[in-house]
Every structure is written in C-alpha cells, then in structure tokens.
Structure 1
Amino acid sequence: MTSAQDLSALLHRVARKDRAAFAEVYQATSAKLYGIALRILKRRDIADEVLQEVYVKIWERAADFSPDRASPISWMATIARNRALDEVRRKRPVAIEDHPEVQNFASDDETALAAIMRSEDGRRLADCLTRLEPDRRQMVVLAYCEGLSRDELAAKYGQPVNTIKTWLRRSLASLKGCLGS
C-alpha cells in the first residue's frame, strides 16, 4: 500500500513528466479511481474510457497538486468523480432495462467498490461512515458513490440546496477527521 506521502512524492515526479512515477501512481490508485467511475457510470466500458481520461488529466495537471489543500488520493478521486459526472451529464448511458436479453447473464466478478471496501482504507472508511448520522451517511454515499447532484439530494431530502451543501461539507469534514486519527 502506498502512503499519502509516497503518492505526493510520486505526483511531484509526475509533474516533471517522470513516466516511471506515473506508472507507480497508476498501479497504486487505479482500482480506487476505477471504482469511483464505475459506481457513478454503472457501465464498465464507459468507466474504462473515463479512467483513461482521468489519468491523462493527472499526467497533465500533476503540477497543480498541492498536499496542503488535499491528500493525493482525494485530489485524484475528485478528478475521477468530476469526469464521471461530466460523462453522465453529457450523455445518458443505456440502461440495462433497455436490453432485457442481457439481464440473464450473471457475473462472478467482484465489484470495484467491494474490492476497495476489503482494503484497509475501505474498512477504515466504512467504520468512519458508521459514525455519521444515518441520513448524512446515506447522503454522502448517494453523492459520492451514486453521483447524485446537490439539486437531486435537495429534492430527495426536501431541503434547500445550501443546506445539503452544508451537510455534505460537515459530513466530509467529520470523515476526514476520523480517517486522519
């Protein structure tokens, strides 16, 4: 497992166009970033394409990374999440319900999210999530795993968008504090 300090150092090298460092960043983070994209997009083919674009952005924008503003994985996860959400907004993926003939195929593949949650980081995150109030926990999962917008959350919870924004910010701060301890 690569530490945040190691990832920061690798990203600094990537900013200088170090291909070996980039390969190490990819190896250490691709499962997590793919899990984010797949969870939002729900289609492996589109998630594969988005993941490629995410790493192109990481390569191009590595110099923009600042460990004072965010952890390396948070910075990269934000890029992945935003790119996946852009894809959702750009074109609506075809739903499996539109093709009933493929619904009978079962997959034994473990989901990317399940693989992440089995990792030490995933277990720590799951533990920290249980410390949030149930509605806040669900809201965080809906926003950051399912890709719901603040507007969609506001409609779902019957609250103003600014309230949702505040709840998410406080929940994420709580998670950050929990994960940092």
Structure 2
Amino acid sequence: MIDPQPPQLEELLARCALNDQAAFAQLYKKVASKLNGIAYRILNNVDSANEVLQEAFVQIWNNASEYRQDKAEPMTWMASIVRYRAYDRIKFEKRRIEGAQIKADIEGFDDIADKRTDGIQLCEIDQQLTDCLADLDVNQRKSVLMAYYYGFSREEISSQFEAPINTVKSWIRRGIERLQQCLGN
C-alpha cells in the first residue's frame, strides 16, 4: 500500500471538518491500518487497539476543524490522537485493576476515623479531615473517597454501588459540601 501524501490527507481532513462522510470513509481506508498499528504497539492487545482506533476516529471526526497544517503533518496529528487515546486506555486499565485490588478496602471506609497512613503522624488538618469524613453519611463518605482518593470515575462508583449515576453525583456533591462546612468551622 502506498502511503497517502500529506496534501491528500489535508484535503480529506478539511472535507471531514465540513461533515463529509465520504471523505471520512476515504480517510479511514487510507490511514486506519497505520493508526491501528500504533495503538497495538502501545497496548499489545488487538481488542484494545481496535477500541482505541474507533475512539480516535470519532475524535478525528469531531475535531477535524481544529487540524492546523502549519503545526503538524496530518498523519502526525492523527497519530498523536491515537497515542493519547492509547495512553488514556492504559491509565484507565491500571486504575480499574487497582480499583479491583482495593475493593475489599472499601468496606473499611466505615472506620475511616481509625485509619492512619504508614505510621506517619497526622497533622491537625488531617485529623480534622478524618473527623469530618467520619461524620458523613456512609454512601457520601465512600463515594467521596472513591472519587477523590482512589480516582474512580462517577461511572465506576455507580457500578460499585449499583446506584444511578445521578445519585452518586448527588452523594459526592453533598459530601463535599458537608466537608467544606465542617472544615470551615
């Protein structure tokens, strides 16, 4: 297969920016295999690479109007989108694995007031935060800690609690408000 030339790709991207689906299909045919190769080299997993490629092409379609030929070659621009998507996937997978490992710890959130970290003496603000966390409703406390301490997404917390995502968002928002009030006093 002959590598597509930058002017061809620039034209296709410009047409994609105008919502030309035929141009998008041509662009996909010309570069998908190379971009998929980039994703695969980063992820070492065919399924993940295919998912990243799909996400990247959605982003390319949505952001084609933002492409600037004076900043990068078209292939470089699209490859960077794929790379960033692949690295985001790695971070997500790592967080998911870590989340599974700490799942058992979530039950321990109930006695947060008794927790200490690595034998380090907690300073006064840490103690105050611990006391304020202990005063929160159980679901608020667990949701806030999962979101801000362990880095879970709202969707992951929703799945963990088997609760609607809007409920989880409310728990987090109310928990943060109560923490701010408690810490402000």
Taking structure 2 as the reference length, what is the TM-score of the superposition? 0.49
Aligned mates of 1:50, 1:81 — CA distance in 2: 9
Which residue number in structure 1 is paired with residue 10 of structure 2? Answer: 8
Which residue number in structure 1 is paired with residue 31 of structure 2? Answer: 29
Which residue number in structure 2 is paired with residue 170 of structure 1? Answer: none
Aligned mates of 2:83, 2:50 — CA distance in 1: 13
Q: Counterpart of 1:91 in 2: which secondary structure? A: helix
CA apart distance, 1:33: 0.5
The C-alpha deviation readout for 1:14-72, integer Å capped at 9, x for no partner, is: 00000010011101100111001001110001111111000000000000001100000
Aligned mates of 2:68, 2:26 — CA distance in 1: 19
CA apart distance, 1:90: 1.0
User: Are 1:83 and 2:85 counterparts?
Assistant: yes
Which residue number in structure 1 is paired with residue 19 of structure 2? Answer: 17
Which residue number in structure 2 is paired with residue 42 of structure 1? Answer: 44
Structure 1 counterpart of 2:65, which letter? A
Structure 1 counterpart of 2:11, which letter? A
Structure 2 counterpart of 1:6, which letter? Q
Aligned mates of 2:54, 2:65 — CA distance in 1: 19
The C-alpha deviation readout for 1:77-134, integer Å capped at 9, x for no partner, is: 000000000000111399xxxxxxxxxxxxxxxxxxxxxxxxxxxxxxxxxxxxxxxx
Which residue number in structure 2 is paired with residue 71 of structure 1? Answer: 73
Q: Counterpart of 1:88 in 2: which secondary structure? A: helix
Structure 2 counterpart of 1:31, which letter? S
Q: Counterpart of 2:69 in 1: which secondary structure? A: coil
Structure 1 unaligned spans of 5+: 95-181
| Superposition pairs of residues 101-180 of structure 1, within 5 angstroms | none
Structure 2 counterpart of 1:57, which letter? Q
Taking structure 1 as the reference length, what is the TM-score of the superposition? 0.50
CA RMSD between the two structures: 1.4
Structure 2 counterpart of 1:46, which letter? S
Aligned mates of 1:12, 1:23 — CA distance in 2: 13
Aligned mates of 1:52, 1:6 — CA distance in 2: 21
Aligned length: 94
Show structure 1 runs of 4+ deviating over 2 A: none
Which residue number in structure 2 is paired with residue 167 of structure 1? Answer: none
Structure 2 unaligned spans of 5+: 98-185
